[in-house]
Amino acid sequence: MANRIVVDPITRIEGHLRIEAEIKDGKIVDAFSSSTMVRGIENIVKGRDPRDVWAFVQRTCGVCTTVHALASVRTVEDALGIVIPPNAEMVRNIMEGALYMHDHSVHFYHLHALDWVDVVNALKADPKKTSEIAQSISKWPKSSTGYFTDVQNRVKKFVNTGQLGIFANGYWGHPQMKLPAEVNLLAVAHYLEALEWQKEIVKVHTIFGGKNPHPNYLVGGMACAINTQTAGGLTAERLAYVGQLLQDGKEFIEQVYIPDLLAIASFYKDWAGIGKGFGNYMSYGDFPTNGYADMAGFKFPQGVILDRDLSKVHDVDHRSSEQIEEFVNNSWYNYSDGDDKGKHPWDGETNIKYSGPKPPYDFLNVEEKYSFVKTPRWKGMPMEVGPLARLLVGYGRGNKEIQEAVNAALAHLNVPVDALFSTLGRTAARGIETQLVANWTMEFYDTLMNNIKNGDERMANMDNWEPSSWPKEAKGVGFCEAPRGALAHWIKIKDGKTENYQQVVPTTWNASPRDAKGQRSAYESTLIGTPIANPELPLEIIRTIHSFDPCLACAVHLYDEHGKHISQVQNIESCES
C-alpha cells in the first residue's frame, strides 16, 4: 500500500499537463508527459487578417503574456518585408525585458519556492537570526528583526485561524525540505513582498501597451506614438515612469530575488545531480540591439548545443525543413498524408483527433497516442529550451557577459560547470538571466531615450500596412526567446489572408511525448533517475517539472514497483479494496 501515490494535478503551473511515471527501487525509471487540453487556435486564425493574428495567438498564454504577440508581429513583418523603427524595437525589448523580470520572479516565489521552502517551519524561526542572514546577503532595507517578527506573527495567526487557503495540504515537513527555519522565514517574507511587487513591474506594459495581461502590439511597430511636445502620446512623464519602474524592478531582482536564490540553492546542492536529461540545448536568440534582421547584435545568441558539448555551437535555421519538424506519432492529431513523417511548420497541420481513453479515466494508454502536444525535433533530435539553454548557448558562443554571470554564480555556490545540467542548474539559470535581462533593459531604455533626444520619434512603419501593397502570396517566420524558451511562429499569407499558421512553443519542445524513434523529450528525459523519498508525496517530481516553469498544468501518476498502473487518488480506496 505504501507504494500507492497519486498526484493529480500538479499545481503552480499554467495549463493542463499530466505525467505518468514508473518507479523502481525508489527512483523513476520511465515517464510519460501528456497535455490534456486543446483549443485549436492555429485553426481559428486561418482565413483572418494577418494584422489581427497577434491578438488571437497572444491568448495562447496569459502568464508569459506578450511573447506570442511579439512572435506573431515578427512573423507577419518577416512575410511582408516590414522593418520596424528603432524606437519600436526598443519598446518591444523593454516590454519583453519587463516580462522576464516579472515572470521569472513570480515563478521563483509563487510557483517554485513552495517546493523548497517549508512555510509552516518558518514559525519555528528566530527572527533575529533571520534578520542577520538577510543583512548578510543583501542591502534590501526590509530586514530588521522587527520586520521578520511581524511576518512570523502574521503567519502564525493565519495558521491559527485553521483555514490555510492556498497553503492547505502543502508539503510541510517533507524529508526533502532542508532549509533552516530562519531561511524559510526569509523566503516566506519575500513571497509576500514579491506578490506586492509583481504588479508594479508590469506597468511598463500598461504604459506602452495599454494593459496587462495582454498588452497591445501592432504589425509595423507599436501603437504608442511618441509626442514629447504636446499631450497626446508618450511624453517625458510616461517615459520617466517606465524608467522608474525598471530601476525599481532591477533593485528588487538584485537585492531580493538573486540573494534568495543563491541562499536557498546553497542548501540544495544535491539537486545539481538530479534532472540531467539528454543534454541537447537550443536557443533562437533574442533582444536585438541593431534591428531584428541583425542576429549578430542579439543579446541572447542563437544556436544549438549537442550532448553538453559547449565547445561547438550549431546554427539554427527556422526556414529549413531539414532542421525543424513536428511529429504526431504520439499526439492526438492526424496528418493528411500519414503520421509517419514530420512536417515543417510552414506546411504544418493541426487536425485534432482524440483517441485516448474515455473520461473519466484513471490512466492513459501510453502505448498509443497520449498527448495534445506535438513532438518537435531539430534535425531529428530532441531539444531542451529555456533559461538554461539560453545561457549555455551564450556560454558556448563565447559571450563574455553571459560567461561572467554564469561563472560568478557557479563560484558563489562552489559547484562545477556540470552542475548546470540539472534541476538546480535550470532554476539557477533563470535567476542569472533575470539579472542580465534587467541590466539590458536599462540599456534598451537608454537607447530609446537617446533616439528621442536625437529627434527620432517614429514608432511604426505603416508603409506596408494596406493589404493592397502585399504580394499575392508570402510566407514568414518570427521567433523570440520567451521566458520559457525558444518560441517561433510560421505564417503563409495568400490574397491578404492567413492561409496557414503554426506555433511551436517552448513547452512543445520540453513537454512533448516521445517520437517515433522512442526518443524522449525534456520532461520525460529529466525525470528519469529522480529519487522519490516518499511515493505518497512525490515532491521531487514537482521540483524537476517546476524547474522548467511549465506552461501547462500537470497531472502526475505513478506506477507501482512492478510497473503496473496504480490508482488515481480519487479512487484509491476502491483500488485498495
Partner 1 sequence: MSASEEKRNTYYESIIKQGYSRRDFMKFTTYMAAFMGLENSMVGQIAKSLETTPRLPVIWEHYQECTCCSESFIRSDHPIVADIILDKISLDYTLTLMAASGHQAEAAKQETMKKYKGEYILCVEGSIPLGDDGNYCCIAGKTAKQSFLEAAEGAKAIIAWGSCASNGCVQSAKPNPTEATPIHKILKNKPIIRVPGCPPIGEVMAGVIVHVVAFGRLPELDGQGRPKAFYSKRVHDSCYRRPYYDAGLFAETFDDKNSKEGYCLYKLGCKGPMTYNSCGTLKWNNGVSYPIQSGHGCLGCSENGFWDNGPFYERKTNVPGFSEGNSADTVGKVAAGVLVGGIAVHALAANISKRKEVKDRIERGIKNEQHIDS
Looking at residues 451 to 470 of the shown chain, list those that interact with partner 1 (rule: CB under 8 A). Answer: 457-460, 462, 465
Q: Is 247 in the site for partner 1 (CB under 8 A)?
A: no
Calculate the CA dihedral of residues 485, 486, 487, 488 and round it to 10 degrees: 180
Q: Does 24 contact partner 1 by CB under 8 A?
A: no
Give, for 491, the enclosing helix (H) or strand (E): strand 485-494
Judged by CB, which is closer to partner 1: 298, or 559? 559
In angstroms, rounded to a whole number, what is the distance separating the alpha carbons of residues 436 and 286?
13
3-class SS of residue 305: strand
Of 209-217, 270-278, 341-349, 484-492: span binding partner 1 (CB under 8 A): 209-217
If the CB atoms of residues 338 and 359 are measured against partner 1, the closer one turns out to be: 359
495 touches partner 1 (CB under 8 A): no
- Give just the sign of the alpha carbon dihedral 331, 334, 337, 338: positive
Q: Which of 25, 161, 400, 453 binds partner 1 (CB under 8 A)?
A: 161
- Binding residue (CB under 8 A) for partner 1 from 226, 448, 486, 566: 226
Interatomic CA distance for residues 53 and 33, integer angstroms: 29
Q: Name the residue among 513, 507, 502 with its Cα closest to residue 484.
A: 507
230 binds partner 1, rule: CB under 8 A = yes
User: 271-310 mask for partner 1 (x: CB under 8 A)?
Assistant: ----------------------------------------
d(CA 221, CA 445): 16
CA–CA separation, 234 and 548 (whole Å): 37
Residue number with CB closer to partner 1 (14 or 347): 14
Determine, following the binding rule CB under 8 A, whether residue 147 of this chain makes contact with partner 1: no
- According to the binding rule CB under 8 A, does residue 9 interact with partner 1? yes
- Name the residue nearer to partner 1 (CB basis): 56 or 440: 56
Kindly state the number of chain residues that form the binding site for partner 1, as judged by CB under 8 A.
Answer: 112
Interface stretch with partner 1, choices 20-28, 197-205, 423-431, 521-529 (CB under 8 A): 197-205
Helix ranges restricted to H, 414-564 = 423-453, 506-511, 522-527, 539-547
Compute the least distance from the CB of residue 324 to partner 1, in Å: 24
Q: Does 67 bind partner 1 (CB under 8 A)?
A: no
Residue closer to partner 1 (CB basis): 174 or 308: 174
Are the C-beta atoms of residues 185 and 38 closer than 8 Å to each other? no
Q: Which is nearer to partner 1, 403 or 568 (CB)?
A: 568
- Cell numbers linked to 493: 499569407
Rg over alpha carbons for the chain, rounded to the nearest Å, is: 24
Instruction: Considering only the C-alpha atoms of the chain, give the largest distance between any 2 of them, rounded to a whole number of Å.
Output: 78
Which helix (H) or strand (E) element contains residue 339? none
Residue 56 or residue 298: which is nearer to partner 1 going by CB? Answer: 56
- Binding residue for partner 1, selected from 1, 25, 141, 165, defined by CB under 8 A: 165
Single out the residue of 13, 73, 122, 528 in contact with partner 1 (rule: CB under 8 A): 13
Q: Which is nearer to partner 1, 140 or 167 (CB)?
A: 167
The least distance separating partner 1 from the CB of residue 431, rounded to whole angstroms, comes to 21
Q: Which of 21, 22, 33, 56 binds partner 1 (CB under 8 A)?
A: 56
Comparing CA positions, the residue from 309, 284, 288 lying closest to residue 297 is 288
Q: Tell me which stretch binds partner 1 (CB under 8 A): 202-210, 293-301, 398-406, 512-520.
A: 202-210
Contact 283, 481 (CB under 8 A): yes
Q: Smallest gap, in angstroms, from Cβ of residue 378 to partner 1?
A: 27
Judged by CB under 8 A, the stretch of 93-101, 124-132, 215-223, 422-430 that binds partner 1 is: 215-223
CA-CA distance, 437 to 103, in Å (whole number)?
A: 12
Binding mask of the shown chain, residues 26 to 45, with x at each position contacting partner 1 by CB under 8 A: ----------xxxxxx-xx-
471 vs 162: CA distance, rounded Å: 66
Minimum distance, C-beta of residue 428 to partner 1, in the bound complex (Å): 22
Whole-angstrom distance, CA of residue 561 vs CA of residue 398? 46
> Within positions 511 to 570, which residues make up the interface with partner 1, using CB under 8 A?
536-538, 542, 553-556, 568-570
* Smallest distance from partner 1 to CB 18, Å: 8
Window contacting partner 1 (CB under 8 A); options: 123-131, 192-200, 391-399, 407-415: 192-200
Q: Which of residues 379-438 bind partner 1 (CB under 8 A)?
A: none
Per CB under 8 A, 126 contacts partner 1? no
Cα distance between residue 566 and residue 251, in whole Å = 48
Contacts of 542 (CB under 8 A, 6+ apart): 7, 10, 115, 556
Interface residue with partner 1, options 23, 32, 33, 51 (CB under 8 A)? 51
- Scan residues 321-380 and list those touching partner 1 (CB under 8 A): 352, 354, 356, 358-363, 372
- CB 379, min distance to partner 1, A: 31
- Run of H or E including 219: none
Nine cell digits for residue 242: 517606465
Closest CA to 209 of 220, 225, 224, 198: 224
189 binds partner 1 (CB under 8 A): no
Give the binding range for partner 1 (CB under 8 A) out of 14-22, 92-100, 127-135, 526-534: 14-22
Applying CB under 8 A, the span of 174-182, 198-206, 246-254, 323-331 interacting with partner 1 comes to 198-206
φ, ψ of residue 45 to 5 degrees: the values are -80, -10
Name the residue among 453, 450, 502, 454 with its Cα closest to residue 475.
Answer: 502
Q: Which is nearer to partner 1, 64 or 424 (CB)?
A: 64
Nearest-approach distance from CB 132 to partner 1, in angstroms: 23
List the grid coordinates of 572. 484509491
Sequence-ordered list of residues with C-beta below 8 angstroms from that of 403, at least 6 positions apart, any chain: 394, 395
Chain centroid, CA 8 distance in Å: 21
Rounded Cα–Cα distance for residues 462 and 88 (Å): 12
Exposed, middle or buried, 360 (CB in 10 Å: 0-12/13-18/19+)?
Answer: exposed
Rama region for 221: left / alpha / beta (φ>0; ψ in -120 to 50; rest):
left
At closest approach, how far in Å is the CB of 10 from partner 1? Answer: 4
For partner 1, which is the closer residue by CB, 207 or 373?
Answer: 207
